[in-house]
Amino acid sequence: MSRLETTLCGIRLQNPVLAASGTYGYGIEFAGLVDLNALGGIVVKGLSREPIAGNPAPRLWETEAGMMNSVGLQNVGVRAFVKEKLPKLRRYRTAVFANVFGYAAEDYAEVIRILNDAEGLAAYELNVSCPNTRQGGIYFSSDPVCLAELIRMVRPITRRPIIVKLSPNVDRIEPLARAAEDAGADAISLVNTFISLAVDARTRRPRLGAGYGGLSGPAIKPIALRLVHQAAQSVRIPVIGLGGIRSGLDAAEFLIAGASAVEIGTLNFADPAAPLRVARELDRFLRDEGIPSVTGIVGTLQLHPAPTAAQEEKKL
């Protein structure tokens, strides 16, 4: 057994480094560039009941320390994925996770029903950063009651583990993490992108065609680490961490903060082989630290207790 081998929701992973949804297409597009068999896992781009064309261009904007995107969840639709993409992915031993989204709980349920009958998937990742059009546009990701109702609807019909991908655009992450666990989620992943805006001062217009976009990359890493730690402290189910990971050391930090696995996102746009490099660097870190298994560092963060008011007063 290698240092990196682990399990997630009962799924065996040869390493805990996955390619994040929305950054690796449907996986098969990268087969000529990367050894897909060496990846810890692939989370395919979000799948909906019907095809979606996505937002107007431009859809990407490089920031000083990351990237903004407003792709608009463009995808071929779940039926085309099952018919055209998934059969090609079955040739590889890497775990494949299907990212699922919708604008009503029934949308999620229908996508999962279609995927249930398909071979070659390990689990589902629910992207809940969408407005619930049946409840006046309340975002599934921002309301614990709305989130729990969604999970309770899809839990009885799914034949595979459910991972719930949480948004950072909330006041507190703990109530949402607990709501997901209590409703039956097998794991949670976080964070999704931060709502953001880039402006062209000369044209007085947004840099992205849809206006607002989602910020990802190194700029969000410290906030993502904090949210992963807070979520991991509040639930017993596994946590998958993502947000600005560029190296094996970054990955180790997320695991130490409480994540059981990590996902690489923005970095894939610059280097599709980045998940493999991050996994190798993580393995070297474990070797150099004398740690026989990656599970040995999960949740080992030791926070210093916050100083009391009396202690602060003594410093003055």
Range with the lowest mean pLDDT among 31-35, 131-135, 182-186, 196-200? 131-135
User: Can you name the CATH fold of 6-315?
Assistant: TIM Barrel (3.20.20)
User: How sure is the predictor about 303, in pLDDT bands with cuts at 50, 70 and 90?
Assistant: confident
Q: What is the H or E stretch that residue 281 is in?
A: helix 274-289
Determine the average pLDDT of the residues in 16-41: 96
Beta carbons of 216 and 191 less than 8 angstroms apart: no
For residue range 39-51, list pLDDT tens digits in order.
999 999 999 999 9
Q: pLDDT tens-digit profile of 254-264?
A: 999 999 999 99
Percent of the chain whose pLDDT exceeds 70: 95
What is the DSSP pairing of strand 66-69 with strand 60-63? antiparallel
Are 191 and 168 within 8 A, CB to CB?
yes
pLDDT band for 11, please (50, 70, 90 cuts).
Answer: very high
Contact 73, 210 (CB under 8 A): no
Alpha-carbon radius of gyration of the chain: 19
Per the model's pLDDT, the better-predicted residue between 313 and 69 turns out to be 69
- Distance, CA of 310 to chain centre: 41
Q: In terms of C-beta density within 10 A (0-12 exposed, 13-18 middle, 19 or more buried), how is residue 184 classed? A: middle
User: What's the predicted TM-score (pTM) here?
Assistant: 0.94
41 vs 189: CA distance, rounded Å = 14
Q: Taking the CA of residue 97 as centre, how many other CA atoms within 13 Å lie in the half-sphere pointing to its CB?
A: 32
Average pLDDT, the chain: 94
Rounded CA-CA distance 25/295 in Å is 29
pLDDT at 287 over 70: yes
Domain locations in the chain as residue ranges: 6-315
What's the average model confidence in pLDDT over 117-135? 89
Catalytic residue among 19, 67, 89, 130, which?
A: 130
User: Residue 268 and residue 286: Cα distance in Å, rounded?
Assistant: 23
- Retrieve residue 219's tokens: 């700029």
Closest-CA residue to 123 (of 93, 79, 162): 162
Q: Hey, CA dihedral for 53, 70, 143, 173, is it positive or negative?
A: positive
Measured CA to CA, the distance from residue 73 to residue 45 in angstroms comes to 8
- Can you spell out the DSSP letters for 83-116? IIIHHHHTTS-SEEEEEE--SSHHHHHHHHHHHH
Question: Is 130 one of the annotated active-site residues of the chain?
Answer: yes
Site of tokens 């019907």: 50
The Cα-based distances of 76 to 48, 52, 90, 165, 264 in angstroms read 8, 7, 18, 21, 23
The whole-angstrom separation of Cα 250 and Cα 257 is: 11
